[in-house]
Structures are given as C-alpha cells and as structure tokens.
Amino acid sequence: MGEPHKTMQLSGWGRMRPEPCRTYRPERLRDCAPVFSDPTPDTLIARGYGRSYGDAAVNAAGVVDMTRLNRMRSFDPVSGILECESGVSLEEIIDAFLPNGFFLPVTPGTKFVTVGGAIANDVHGKNHHCDGTFSRFVRELELLTASSEVLLCSPESNADIFWATVGGIGLTGCILSAKIQLMRVPSAYISVDYHRCANLDAALAAMEERDGAYPYSVAWVDCLAEGNTLGRSVLMHGRHAEPKDLDRRQADRPYAVQTAHKLPVPFNFPGFFLNSWSVQAFNNWFYNKHPDLEHVIVDYDRFFYPLDSILQWNRMYGKRGFVQYQATMPLEHAAGLTKLLEALSASKRASFLAVLKRFGEQGPGLLSYPFKGYTLALDIPNHGDITQFLRDLDRMVLDHGGRLYLAKDACMSRQSFEAAYPRLSEFRAIKERLDPKGRFSSSMARRLGLTVQKEAEHG
C-alpha cells in the first residue's frame, strides 16, 4: 500500500508540460525516512515551492513536497546562525528575523522559495559579484540519502557530498535541515541609484565601471528595442540604507515595512495578452519612468521581489505557459548577448521580463551555475516551435562559451548540458556512489542523462 499520497498535476513555474505526479507531503521530519524508504515509487524527488521554471522538481513516480517541514530549530543572535528545516521559506525567515535586524545574505528574485530549493539550485542574487551564491552561507546540512542514512555535510565534513548537493538539483538526497548564516542589516530599506543606458554596450560598460562600488546590481532590459537601442536598459544599483538615509517615519521603525498588497492573477490570461504591442508599451513606460536618480529609498520587498506582489503572475502567459531562458556568457564573449537579443527581437517573441547581471567568480559547487561573466534571463512565451527556437539560442550560447541555468531550464538537450558543465563527471561519480540505483530522479535528471540507469529502465 505504501505511504499516503495524492496524484497531482505538477509542473515548474513556467507551467509547460505538467505531469501527473504521485505526491507525498510529510508533516514531520521523522515522516521523511518512511516515505523515502517506501519501495513503491521506484524514484523520488524532493520539491519546495515549485519556483524552478522547468522540470527540476517534477517526477511522475514520486515527488516529496517539503513545504510542511518548515520549523525553525534555533537561532543564535550573536553569530546570526539559523538552524531550520528545509521547507522553511525565505519569506518566513525574513518575517521572523528582519524585525531583529537580520536579513538573507543572498536572495533570488522571489522569496517564495524554500531553503532546500535555494541550496539544491545554489541560488544567486543581485550581490553575486560581491558575495557569491547561497551555499557560501550554508554552514551545515542534514542529507537523507538513498541508503536511508542521515549525513551531516558541510565544507569541512563530507565536503565532497556537500559540494555535490549544493546545486545538485535534489539528486544526491533529500536535504532535511540546514544551518544558515544570516546577515545584520541597518534597516529594511535599500538606497537605490538608477542609471539609464541607451543600449547594451552602454549597460555593460556601466556595470563594469560601477558594480564594484555597490553590493547589489541588476539591469532591466528592453528586449524589443532594435538597432542602435538594442538592449537599452535601466541599471539599478543598491545598498542597505542606514537610518540617517531614511525619512522620519521610516527611521522611527527602520525594520518595519508594510509589505506590498498582493494582487492575484485569478485565471489564465488569453495567450495573446502579452504580445509585442503590450510589452513594448510597458517597456516604453518603464524606461521613461526611470531617469537617472540617486539615493532613492525603496523597501526590501520592492527592491528584491517586485514580482511577488502579483500572486500566480505566471498565469499571464496563458495556458501554454512559458520558459525562462537564463544564459551566462564569459566576460570576453559578451558579444554573444547581442546575438541572443537580436534573435529574440527578430522572433517577435515578446519577453516581458529581461534581466541582466554581471556575475563574480565561480563557487565550489560542482553543478553550481554562476561563473564570471554576464547573465541574461529572459521570459519567452510558449508558442510556435519553441523547442527549435531555443535550440538555436543554445547553439549561440555554447559557441560563446556560455551555459544555461538548471533552475530555469525546461528544454536543454543532454549534449548542451554536458558541454557546458565542466565538473559534471565529478558530480556523476558522487551520485553513483551515494545512489547507485538512481533512486533520486526527476524529469530533468532523465532529460539531461543524470540518472542513466533509470532512463534505460524507463526506455
């Protein structure tokens, strides 16, 4: 009979190719071991809030929803180290600790992400050029492996497993809990400098010149601009605001922020809602609304998580969903970004959201994504022959020495993946040692040839 479960249609945030998945939802950490040792599902994968865009947390045979495992275990206000279960969300951490002056040292562009998901994709934020990825601040994690052992992993102990688990998209085992270093901040506000750039070259030059002076840097890009204005951007540089930067009302309660009222998207919008006309109108408005300005005080929610105020915004792309395409090119091959933008602009596939960032050095995670270069993330609606279009983009990325991000990917081929991740064989060796029968698997893992045995069994 096995452990209690439900069959649910699951996909990634891009809502492409949903699959009926046998889904388990343990309530307590002690319920995890029976679920993972239940032989009925031949493969399993842990899942957080499903904010990865593609199929990293999708697996028809078995998905383990970790979001009920959201207990904080301990917090040391002197060291700033939080120990929590892996289903705790970044939102829950902020709500609990920001009032006491602590914030996340690295955060992605949504706070609806679990600690387990943040580790398994080794997520990055707007401060990657200064602070690296999430794993830099993970002091230790508990990993439930395929042999039902619970291993304590850290950069000092079981270090090889730690660096395979970080960015390892759930394939080394299930992260049960983690110790994370939080960071003290002077307020809940960010002081932002806006700088408009007339085209991509100007944006890259401005990032190179200015990024070093700010912990946070990101650019919004108009993907429909062409010719001399291709890649016109608004560059946003930020740092945590000091109480002296705040107005009186803010300075009285520097950690109390009225978070934005959340608006839901109640149903799937028609597929034509985000077309090149509506997106161009938005882009013109956004570009014109942001002249060069300095020291604009913005609360953390608006700065880090602008999309979180629209619940289920992924429905705006209609029933067929969308992909997010995130490619990083080495600094010396930034010209590849121009090629990507030209291809996107010529295709008239209106990308509502396009974000550019300059990454810092590569970290030690074996499949960890960021490396020194420019990264461009584009939302692309699913219409026409999207697979062929993406394959054409993949070729450009590979030709320029770039790579795609697994947290966003839904379509990459195994060949492209193998060509772009140089430490893959080290990862495979650890996976093989920890999980020789390929118990931890997902649709992404099979697509990319990361669980070869199961792929062969499933034909």
Phi, psi for 57 (deg, rounded to 5) = -115, 35
Of 318, 352, 326, the C-alpha closest to 224 is 352
Question: Do 103 and 185 meet the contact criterion of CB atoms below 8 Å apart?
Answer: yes
Q: Does 230 bind ligand FAD (CB under 6 A)?
A: no
Restricted to residues 344-403, the positions that interact with ligand FAD (CB under 6 A) are: none
Residues 354, 286, 377, CA angle at the centre, nearest 5°? 5
Residue 327, token pair as written in the block: 């490619």
Backbone region of residue 321 per phi and psi (left: phi > 0; alpha: psi in -120 to 50; beta: other values): left
Enumerate residues 6+ apart whose C-beta is below 8 A from 277.
none
| Piece of the chain touching ligand FAD by CB under 6 A; list 25-33, 105-113, 378-386, 449-457 | 105-113
Beta-bridge partners for 377: 326, 355
Q: Which residues contact 285 (CB under 8 A, 6 or more apart)?
A: none
Per CB under 6 A, the list member of 108, 321, 402, 438 interacting with ligand FAD is: 108
| Closer residue to ligand FAD (CB): 45 or 366 | 45
Per CB under 6 A, 51 contacts ligand FAD: yes
Position closest to ligand FAD via CB: 48
| Measured distance CA(248)–CA(253) in Å, rounded | 9
| 3-state SS class at 439 | coil
50 makes contact with ligand FAD (CB under 6 A): yes
Nearest distance in Å: CB 372, ligand FAD: 16
421 forms part of the interface with ligand FAD (CB under 6 A): no
Site membership for ligand FAD, residue 45 (CB under 6 A):
yes
**Which of 5, 25, 111, 124 is the binder for ligand FAD (CB under 6 A)?**
124
> How wide is the angle at C-alpha 204 spanned by C-alphas 202 and 206, nearest 5°?
65
Site for ligand FAD in 54-93 (CB under 6 A): 56-57, 66, 86
Q: How many residues bind ligand FAD (CB under 6 A)?
A: 32
Alpha carbon distance 128, 166 (integer Å):
16
Nearer to ligand FAD, 111 or 199 (CB): 111
13 counts as binding ligand FAD under rule CB under 6 A: yes
Site string for ligand FAD, 166-185 (x = CB under 6 A): ---xx---xx----------
Nearest residue (CB) to ligand FAD, 287 versus 440: 440
Contact 235, 347 (CB under 8 A): no
Q: Does 114 bind ligand FAD (CB under 6 A)?
A: yes
Rg (CA), the chain: 21
Dist. CA 307–CA 313, nearest whole Å? 7
287, amino acid identity:
Y
Residue type, 189: Y
Question: Hey, which residues between 132 and 171 contact ligand FAD (CB under 6 A)?
Answer: 169-170
Q: Given candidates 41, 62, 105, 109, which one binds ligand FAD under the rule CB under 6 A?
A: 109
Minimum distance from CB of 61 to ligand FAD (Å)? 13
Per CB under 6 A, the segment of 120-128, 252-260, 281-289, 338-346 that binds ligand FAD is 120-128
In DSSP notation, 133-201 reads: -GGGGEEEEEEE-TTS-EEEE-SSSSHHHHHHHTTSTT-S-EEEEEEEE-EE-S-SEEEEEEEEESSHH
- The answer to whether the CB of 24 falls within 8 A of the CB of 65 is yes
Contact 223, 351 (CB under 8 A): yes
Range in contact with ligand FAD (rule: CB under 6 A) among 16-24, 113-121, 220-228, 279-287: 113-121
* Helices 335-347, 386-399: crossing angle, 10 deg rounding: 170
According to the binding rule CB under 6 A, does residue 110 interact with ligand FAD? Answer: yes
Q: How far is the CB of 440 from ligand FAD (least distance, A)?
A: 8
Binding-residue pattern over the window 294 to 323 for ligand FAD, x denoting contact by CB under 6 A: -------------x----------------
Nearest to ligand FAD of 230, 444 (CB atom)? 444
At closest approach, how far in Å is the CB of 22 from ligand FAD? Answer: 15
Q: What is the contact surface with ligand FAD in residues (CB under 6 A)? A: 13, 45-52, 56-57, 66, 86, 108-110, 113-114, 116-118, 120-121, 123-125, 169-170, 174-175, 307, 407
